[in-house]
Structure 1
Amino acid sequence: MTGRVEIFEVGPRDGLQNEAREISVAQKIAFVDCLSRAGFSRIEVASFVSRKWVPQMAGSAEVLAGITRAPGVRYAALAPNMRGYDEARAAGADEIAIFASASEGFSKANINATVGESIERFKPILKAARHIDLPVRGYISCVTDCPFDGPTAPARVADLADTLFSLGCYEISLGDTIGQATPDSIVKMLLAVRDRVPVGRLAGHYHDTAGRALANIDASLSLGVRVFDAAAGGLGGCPYAPGASGNVATEAVAAHLERLGYDTGLDMAVLEEAASMARALREA
């Protein structure tokens, strides 16, 4: 074996949030419970954002209350502001995530705030979480390309990653939000970021819109990244590429890593069961 690589499962949150059809709390709980049997260490299951803007995430507290929590698994929730943080904490999230953009254009379109303003929103969250030892993960969007601003300078990503890490994020997930990254652009970005943040604290979140997610994972592996986000069944589309795939499928990443000789610790049979469940949720 070449070593251990962790897949962070994001299907129940990042994957389902863009689905147009309403998915019941019971269906979400069943999906998470299946994933919990697959061997993941971390699963993102909820999002405490405005129900007006992300209606699919309504019922997040009920999901966290209803799942069967497997030993050794951390169940994460997105919390973009203090209200979301308080709700996530009350619901029993084991860790929370905050999200910022490396591009001003995407930040303004996505959360109606500049990058600097978004950081100010996160500071009280990180301060509060630090007092109770609640882990906070930081997401960065548009790490290579932005639908509004074009190519993203690696230095911008490095600056933002450094800021989030310095404020207390235990890990920085680097997102190819519109799925247009190439191995070359990923390498240039990672070389800049790992000069500021230890590579062991970085994760790759690569969408498969252009069919290059696995190649981008390979490029990241060569630079020492050992955590990758993925969604069972490839759940999740990109709003800026209608009809195109979004999150790379967990089962595809797991199979690819195992072919390369890496140990993911995942039960492939259970993972395929979860992937089938995810596809059924999308197609129903």
Structure 2
Amino acid sequence: MGFMGIFALFLYSLSFITQAGTAFFSFLLAIKSPTRYKWGWLFLCLGLTLMLGRRISPIFSILETNHFNMTDAILSLTISASLLIGTIGIHKLMSQVNTENQLMSILSQLDPLTNCLSRTETLYQLSNEIKRSQRTKKPFAVLELDIDHFKLINDEHGHNIGDEVLHSLATYIRSLLRSNDHFGRVGGEEFIIILPDTDEQQAKIIAERIREQVERKVDYSLSSVKPIQLTISIGICIAEITGSITAINDFCKVLIKQADEAMYRAKNNGRNQVAF
């Protein structure tokens, strides 16, 4: 076998390896793609795998007969390399899209100012807690808290300081909660806390502890000239589910409405207190 034959054998061998790599990346694309598109990538992977026979037959031909076609060898490698580069490009694109989708999913779950749960995610977690409570027959508590006289903070210090106070308060309250509690922002200065497996007595203890700790904290702003202290009013609603609930969304609204009414009762009774 002369030099050209060896070179053609090398090209065909490299083409075979490249084609195998393309089939492998196609298989990875099938794994990462949505279910409704998997069949397309699987068929592409199958086709590329079957084409390996077209890449290996010239290798046997050269070894057995010393017959080769240099033009076909060059085209074979060029086609296989192009397919591999294109497939790798699509694989990287899909990986980037999946990463961005995951990031968007995470961001959609969080309130951008306070980094606690968004209103939509809070309602979703509340619906999950309702379903869980139906199974376990254990009560849970919904707390709605509101910053007392928050408008005065915005008027006196500006909205930038007000946003800083909201972020600081949310971070502080989150540090006071249990790992399985859910804490979300549902309005301007209104927040919802979902306490799983919590009865009336436990909810009152937790709510009073949060209220007292918030009042004791010296300052909620790093930018204001003078320290900003806060008090909060908390309304509590206890959910004890004994029967079956079909309209979960409607029941979520009822619980939040009752917690909201309890919170306004705390406001009307003088603020900086807890009410059921």
Do both share a fold (TM > 0.5)? no
TM bucket (normalised to shorter chain) is under 0.3
Higher relative contact order (CA 8 A, sep 6+): 1
Bigger Rg, which one? 2
In the superposition, the TM-score normalised over structure 1's length comes to 0.22
Higher helix share: 2
